[in-house]
Amino acid sequence: MPELLDLLTRQSRDHALILMDPEGRVTAWLAASEYVFGYTEDEMMGQPLDRMFTPEDLARGLHVHELAVARGHGRAEDDRWQVRKDGTRIWAFGVLTALRDEKGELVGFGKVLRDRTDVKAQIEALRQTGDRAKTVLSTVGHELRNPLSALSAASEVLKLGAGMTLQQAGDLIQRQVVLLRRLADDLMDVARVGTAKLRLSIESLDLLALLREVAEELRPSSETREQQFKVILPEGQVWIEGDPARLRQVVNNLLTNAIKYTPTNGEIALKMTVEGNEAVIRVQDNGAGIAPEELPKIFELFTQVESSMEKSEGGLGIGLAVVKAIVTLHGGSVQVKSEGRGKGSDFAVRLPFTQSKHGLAN
Ligand code: ADP
């Protein structure tokens, strides 16, 4: 047993094991201590652990406090950032234990800790996702308000028969119901993104016909913003294997964004080309553009809700995550290019032809 213990204290790559005298000066520098902190036993013997505390913690007197807590309560939790010899920081989970002899006399301290910088990063990412989810919920609240007040106005009309014709009230209700349904669909897709729950029902479809239809559906909202909307598609048909409803959603989300993030009089283009074994759909605009640091995050769920709200465009940061999930399930990929803020955006969706009989046909 002592032999194995000896091997463990010398060979462990995970746990730093440090023994100290009652004043907190190192008397043994064991196991992974050198590996974790970079200091050798010679450098640490007789020294306090102060140099491994961050300047912030030292300023708060944590190095003294921790020993006092262990002295008083037998142990002190020790989960915090620590500084290595080379100046880098690690997040360590550790415990400082007060060691007492049979008479209860304090004879020293033992510290066992493990570098879990990886876990800290995961915790931080979860916290950010939680924060973003809260922002989304409050945005959902805002998005529900407008249709609700419109519907409430329409119901007044139906009750009192005043102000609007029944036809107008009916139209208004229908428009708001479409908005609410879209919101509900987006929210349901959130849970499906990244899980097996997003299912495709694949069939052979003419991609060009689908693109023309979605473009015509969205043309009116682009015209309302007096934008130039160019649809540049080859003649004929392009057959691929795909889920028509989901692919519509992809093109719809990209075009809706292009319209939304491009100002009045701006330009929007929908293009499709066949490149090798792929159909490439491009949605381009000369609008708001995307800053280089935002590009890598743009397809993540809930990304940029805040900045899009700054642009007072609402939005939940769901659309592009859904685009990516659907395209990936089709065996394809989606890329974005932008020269920066205010310089327009260029989205490319690549969908593979799964069988050779598919492709461009006249
Ligand atoms: P939403 O538009 O609801 O915020 P999306 O997932 O569709 O969510 O888009 C995420 C973010 O990407 C948007 O908030 C916006 O900042 C940015 N974005 C998407 N498309 C464009 C575009 N065509 N031009 C500029 N920014 C865009």
Q: Is 325 in the pocket of ligand 1 (CB under 6 A)?
A: no
CA distances from 27 to 32, 102, 153, 184, 232 (A): 15, 20, 78, 63, 76
- pLDDT of 304 reads 60
Q: Which residue has the least CA distance to atom 8 on ligand 1?
A: 317
Q: Span 352-360, mean pLDDT?
A: 64
| Model pLDDT for residues 190-202, shown as the tens digit of each residue | 878 877 778 899 9
Please state, as a whole number, how many other Cβ atoms lie within 10 Å of the Cβ of residue 184.
10
Q: Which residue has the least CA distance to atom 12 on ligand 1?
A: 298
For 240, phi then psi, to 5°, come to -135, 170
- Point out which residues pair with 352 in neighbouring strands: 278
Token pair 């992974």 in the structure block, residue = 32
Question: Could you give the residue ranges of the DSSP H alpha helices within 161-236?
Answer: 166-192, 207-224
Residue 347's H or E segment, with its range, is strand 345-352
Range picked from 151-165, 222-236, 293-307 for highest mean pLDDT: 222-236
Say which amino acid occupies 88: T
Any idea how long the chain is?
362
Judged by DSSP in three states, 277 sits in coil
In whole numbers, what is the pLDDT of the chain averaged over residues?
A: 89
Question: Could you give the residue ranges of the DSSP H alpha helices within the chain?
Answer: 2-11, 33-37, 41-44, 55-59, 62-73, 117-160, 166-192, 207-224, 244-260, 305-310, 319-329
Q: Is 345 in the pocket of ligand 1 (CB under 6 A)?
A: yes
Judged by DSSP in three states, 60 sits in coil
Is the pLDDT at 358 greater than 60? The verdict is: no
CA of 317 to the centre of ligand 1 (A): 7
- pLDDT of 250 reads 96
- In this structure, what token pair is assigned to residue 94? 């550790």
Angle at 285 between CA 227 and CA 204, to 5 degrees: 100
CA of 132 to the centre of ligand 1 (A): 15
Please state, as a whole number, how many other Cβ atoms lie within 10 Å of the Cβ of residue 200.
15
Q: Is 315 in the pocket of ligand 1 (CB under 6 A)?
A: yes
CA of 302 to the centre of ligand 1 (A): 10
Q: Is 285 in the pocket of ligand 1 (CB under 6 A)?
A: yes
- In this structure, what token pair is assigned to residue 212? 């023309």
CA of 308 to the centre of ligand 1 (A): 7
Q: Is 266 in the pocket of ligand 1 (CB under 6 A)?
A: no
The secondary structure of 3-35, three-state, reads HHHHHHHHHCCCEEEEEECCCCEEEEEEECHHH
Asked if 321 contacts 144 with a C-beta cutoff of 8 angstroms, the reply is no
| Model pLDDT for residues 91-134, shown as the tens digit of each residue | 999 999 999 999 999 999 999 999 999 998 898 888 888 888 88
| Model pLDDT for residues 219-230, shown as the tens digit of each residue | 999 999 999 999
- In this structure, what token pair is assigned to residue 197? 């729950």
Q: What is the DSSP letter of 300?
A: S
**Cβ neighbours of residue 37 closer than 8 Å, sequence gap 6 or more:** 16, 52, 82, 84, 85
Q: Is 222 in the pocket of ligand 1 (CB under 6 A)?
A: no
Residue 80, Ramachandran bin (φ over 0: left; ψ between -120 and 50: alpha; else beta): beta
Token pair 């479809």 in the structure block, residue = 205
CA of 192 to the centre of ligand 1 (A): 19
Is the pLDDT at 333 greater than 80? The verdict is: yes
CA of 186 to the centre of ligand 1 (A): 14
**Cβ neighbours of residue 171 closer than 8 Å, sequence gap 6 or more:** none
Locate the ligand 1 atom nearest the alpha carbon of residue 317 and give its number. Answer: 8
CA 92 distance to own-chain centroid: 25
Is the pLDDT at 209 greater than 80? The verdict is: yes
When mean pLDDT is compared across 73-77, 224-228, 293-297, 315-319, the lowest value belongs to 315-319
- Quote the percentage of the chain above a pLDDT of 70: 94
Q: Is 307 in the pocket of ligand 1 (CB under 6 A)?
A: yes
Residue 74, Ramachandran bin (φ over 0: left; ψ between -120 and 50: alpha; else beta): left
**Cβ neighbours of residue 328 closer than 8 Å, sequence gap 6 or more:** none
Is the pLDDT at 308 greater than 50? The verdict is: no
pTM of the full predicted structure?
Answer: 0.69
Please state, as a whole number, how many other Cβ atoms lie within 10 Å of the Cβ of residue 259.
22
Q: What is the DSSP letter of 53?
A: B
Q: Which residue has the least CA distance to atom 16 on ligand 1?
A: 308
